[in-house]
Structure 1
């Protein structure tokens, strides 16, 4: 099993790489070393072995885990929650109210992902373990959760990527765990001195207007940090948010033209990826850089979500926003 040591972000927050898609720096689980040991995000079930190994390296026992928080129920963020919970007898899963039923009965979630990933589904996501309702708690917008004497987390509903999405504010670091709401951070490009952030527009609840509203709300928090589901932390939240605002506008403009031409999501993904190549070439990143392994996957998924949005707008005869 490929694994590596947890990444220490400060004296109380660690990040364990989940090797989603067997790729490093794709997804991760955050560990908050507080009186009530808390994990934010689990990734899919194949990532759970990495989380367990990371907890062991940090010296934490599984029965010490008190809370497992998932920002939303997409399988690359919460698919492994049920499997991890089986090994954490004292833990409770914290979830958005719209997501609870999907973790209690994940068949619909699994069917949707299977339609996207086909024969690869089992390797990427199985097993998906249902979570008993009595081991979940819901958090409404503005709700809090005390995990330490000096640390009370706050939950903010942040739709746009999905309607069952919240973000978690950590007052100790003045940071926000944003799941997919603020998009994707590319660690391999950061390592080259190129901070790079793209919006996540995956199906099937992507709404650009709601996403922009969530970003505006996040901007007003005047954060010092954003913690990403994909992947890691930035201490440049203003730059990161500005980039996703700009790229969302670019993606929607490319998609509007592509949709009018009647092209499919695969061609749209190619056009979006080409716009990214032009930008990264200008920053000195070659076309064969390894980050394109992740970017190719991301643009395929993002294109699916944008096409789905356009189809819904056309069906409802609403203007594209």
Structure 2
């Protein structure tokens, strides 16, 4: 395992020399601030930059949105200290869903934040209190990528709060609305800072490659596309101005990007299932997607060489296979 992790780190350095791979707790401050009240920390799982963001809200009360992976816990702690956050003043850690790269880091440093409560979808709370089963499932689905993220620690039940749809989290001079956004996962919520139009969609809005201005599907092996479309529509109706992507970073023109993502999902769904009906192999599916999705074409080399996304690409495609089709993509003959 150590050899594989070293290989992934070296691969990232080789393919992305302009992206530093570092074990240091480097802080990335968000340049798209909400009255100076939102900062971004790059959690850098296993030193991989520009992939996993944790957002720090600095109202009268402090809060985090997302908790990063367990492997980024030390970087998260260092980043919080570097931007001058008093850990005792953190009131909430708002988690969009319980996939292990979204809360494991906060779970390991929760003792450093004695007043913080963790907010997540009600369906995820049992797994956060006892993550053993979730961890086994994560390893089964993600393989060695799970070890890049690391295993979360249990969170005491008394520190967990269910995130109910429509719930308002009051930070004094900031109010965060909870929006249930199912589809990517059955335990997914998004968060919306209403005064500034700032949206924190977790993976309901896909993944964003800022340098390429491209969007990539964020789909696990099992998704419910109908629910995901409903969730995207809910977010569009909010008319947000800025999206703060967990993967990765802030982006303006939020409504436009949400519409682009909905269109991308439809392209991928129809294309992949058309290919399966024709018994086309994985390489043929990739070729068809590049023909029909300009975002994927622009980002393909980035995806293919990325030490996490590249290894998950087949699994991402698998998520679009509708009921009635084989669960296996035909191998190249």
Kindly report which structure 2 residues correspond to 1:194-209, keeping only aligned pairs within 5 A, or say none.
195-204=213-222, 206-209=223-226
Shift of 1:57: 1.1
The one of 42, 47, 64 equivalent to 1:39 is 64
Q: Which residue of 1 aligns with 2:195?
A: 172
Q: Which residue of 2 aligns with 1:302?
A: 316
The answer to whether residue 280 in structure 2 is matched with residue 257 in structure 1 is: no
The one of 45, 55, 79 equivalent to 1:54 is 79
Aligned partners of 1:166 and 1:140: how far apart in 2? 9
Cα shift readout 1:203-249 (whole Å, capped 9, x = no counterpart): 33x11111111111111111111111111111111221122122111
* Structure 1 alignment gaps of length 5 or more: 190-194, 316-321
Q: Which residue of 2 aligns with 1:227?
A: 244
Q: Which residue of 1 aligns with 2:28?
A: 6
Aligned partners of 1:251 and 1:5: how far apart in 2? 35
The answer to whether residue 151 in structure 2 is matched with residue 134 in structure 1 is: no
Aligned partners of 1:25 and 1:147: how far apart in 2? 27
The answer to whether residue 263 in structure 2 is matched with residue 241 in structure 1 is: no
Shift of 1:3: 4.2
Q: Which residue of 2 aligns with 1:211?
A: 228
The change in CA–CA distance for 1:161 and 1:273 in structure 2 (over 3 A counts) is same
Decide whether the 8 Å contact of 2:51 with 2:248 is kept in 1. Answer: yes
Decide whether the 8 Å contact of 2:178 with 2:191 is kept in 1. Answer: yes
Aligned partners of 1:66 and 1:156: how far apart in 2? 19
Q: TM-score, normalised by structure 1?
A: 0.84
Decide whether the 8 Å contact of 1:273 with 1:296 is kept in 2. Answer: no
Aligned partners of 2:293 and 2:311: how far apart in 1? 14
Decide whether the 8 Å contact of 2:176 with 2:192 is kept in 1. Answer: yes
Cα shift readout 1:69-89 (whole Å, capped 9, x = no counterpart): 100001111222321213211
Decide whether the 8 Å contact of 1:25 with 1:187 is kept in 2. Answer: no
The change in CA–CA distance for 1:136 and 1:268 in structure 2 (over 3 A counts) is farther
Aligned partners of 1:99 and 1:151: how far apart in 2? 25
The change in CA–CA distance for 1:92 and 1:169 in structure 2 (over 3 A counts) is same
Shift of 1:66: 1.4
Aligned partners of 1:263 and 1:112: how far apart in 2? 29
The one of 128, 132, 136 equivalent to 1:111 is 136
The change in CA–CA distance for 1:197 and 1:219 in structure 2 (over 3 A counts) is same
The answer to whether residue 120 in structure 2 is matched with residue 98 in structure 1 is: no
Aligned partners of 2:250 and 2:267: how far apart in 1? 24
Decide whether the 8 Å contact of 1:273 with 1:299 is kept in 2. Answer: no
Q: TM-score, normalised by structure 2?
A: 0.81
Q: Which residue of 2 aligns with 1:318?
A: none
Shift of 1:270: 3.7
Shift of 1:22: 3.0
The change in CA–CA distance for 1:107 and 1:67 in structure 2 (over 3 A counts) is same
Aligned partners of 2:113 and 2:248: how far apart in 1? 24
Decide whether the 8 Å contact of 2:67 with 2:106 is kept in 1. Answer: yes
Shift of 1:25: 0.9
Aligned partners of 2:284 and 2:159: how far apart in 1? 42
Aligned partners of 1:252 and 1:42: how far apart in 2? 31
The change in CA–CA distance for 1:290 and 1:120 in structure 2 (over 3 A counts) is closer
Decide whether the 8 Å contact of 1:159 with 1:214 is kept in 2. Answer: yes
Residue aligned with 2:320, SS: helix
